[in-house]
Structure 1
Amino acid sequence: MRLVIAATGASGVELGLKLKEKLPGSVTAYLILSKSAKRVLSEESHRHYSDDDIAAPVASGSFPSDAMIVAPCSMNTLAKIACGISDNLTTRTAAVMIKERRPLLLAPREIPFSAIALENMLKLSRLGVIVAPPIAGYYSDHATVGQMEDFIIGKWFDLLGIEHSLYKRWRIEEL
């Protein structure tokens, strides 16, 4: 599987990178970092495309990516994707995913959600985009922030069909 991962905004960018680190070896990741995300991270720590590199391979419909996740997804990026604005590599690649009917998962990070943000999420959901904010599952029996992050990342992997063992699943008891 080829997965495009974009991190927009600054708050929560570590969760997007942890997602990349937790990917199984069978998944090839392509990372896009916004300017704000780069400010949070050391640029040398991860191979990535610059968000202003609109000519990067992942921006083409002929590039064989299987899915894309934007984690975290700023409200600015979410609004641009909802309106079809393709002014950077993240929004262009997201537009390609929608056009090609490939899985696109957005993890909006700002709360509370405004009515405008909710309308944009509804519009995107109706287009087949998966909107999955990083919300803790309090039933998941996690004791640390790291375990909570693994649960969230595991749920995202579930939505994209990526095998993992990041959290304990519910079991149906045999009768």
Structure 2
Amino acid sequence: MKIVVGISGASGANLGLKLLHALPASVNKHLILSEHAQIVLDKEENLKVHENHEIWVSVASGSYGADAMIITPCSMNTLAKIACGIADNLITRAAAVMIKERRTLVLAPREIPFSPIALENMHKLSMMGVIIAPPVLAYYGEQNTLEEMENFMIGKWFDLMGIENSLYKRWDDSHA
């Protein structure tokens, strides 16, 4: 499986990295950092890290065949560019490819409250098949620590991309 992780904002970038590290070893991982995310994060070893201006790399092509892409956090700027078809950097180009190829694209917008413009862009993308999945907590999972809350969100994102995981307590018959 080939997964592309985009981190387009500095605030919440650690959640994107936690997701990246939680991916199974068998997954072929690509990380794209926006310029603002690069300010906050150091590049990881043993990982294909792409500069956001490198629009010629593999993940910018439909023939590469990435199975899924997640952008977490997804800034409102990146979300708006994707919604309008602006592919002026590697994150937005790779997202455009996922939409064009009708592959799984998950966006985790990080701002609250959402403006009417952001909601309109999210609706537009959702109607195209893009999955809008902000980092929202669920209270049925009995998370008690920040790490458990983050694992819940990452586990839900993995579910959306078809990646098996046991990062959170799932609803079962014991809840009835």
Give me the CA root mean square deviation: 1.3
Question: Identity across aligned pairs (percent)?
Answer: 62
Which residue number corresponds to residue 157 of structure 1? 158
Residues in 1 aligned to 2:168 and 2:140: alpha-carbon distance in whole angstroms? 11
Could you tell me how far apart the structure 2 residues matched to 1:172 and 1:147 are?
Answer: 21
Q: Distance in 2 between matches of 1:16 and 1:47?
A: 15
* 1:4 match: 4
- Superposition map of 1:17-166 within 5 A: 17-44=17-44, 47-166=48-167
> 1:10 Cα shift?
0.6
Give, in whole Å, the separation in 2 of the partners of 1:5 and 1:63: 15
Q: Check conservation: 2:29, 2:48, Cα contact below 8 A.
A: no
- In 2, Cα distance between equivalents of 1:37 and 1:79: 18
User: What TM-score comes out, normalization by structure 1 length?
Assistant: 0.96
The CA deviation at 1:47 is 4.2
Distance 1:128 1:9 in 2: 23
After superposition, what is the alpha-carbon deviation per residue over 1:7-34, rounded to whole angstroms, capped at 9, x for unaligned?
Answer: 0011000000100101112221110000
- The C-alpha deviation readout for 1:52-84, integer Å capped at 9, x for no partner, is 111111001111210100000000000000000
Structure 1 stretches of 4+ moved >2 Å: 43-47
- Residues 71-117 of structure 1 deviation map (CA, whole Å, 9 limit, x = unaligned): 00000000000000000000000000000000000000011000000
Partner of 2:169 in structure 1? 168
Matched residue SS, 2:152: helix
Partner amino acid, structure 1, of 2:59: V
Q: Distance in 2 between the 1:3 and 1:44 partners?
A: 16
Deviates more, 1:137-146 or 1:98-107: 137-146
CA shift at 1:39, angstroms?
0.6
Distance 2:40 2:166 in 1: 28
User: What is the CA distance between 1:172 and its match in structure 2?
Assistant: 2.2
Structure 2 stretches lacking a partner, 5+ long: none
State the AA in 2 paired with 1:38: Q
Distance 2:68 2:159 in 1: 12
Aligned length: 174
In structure 2, C-alpha distance between the alignment counterparts of 1:32 and 1:44, rounded to whole Å: 11
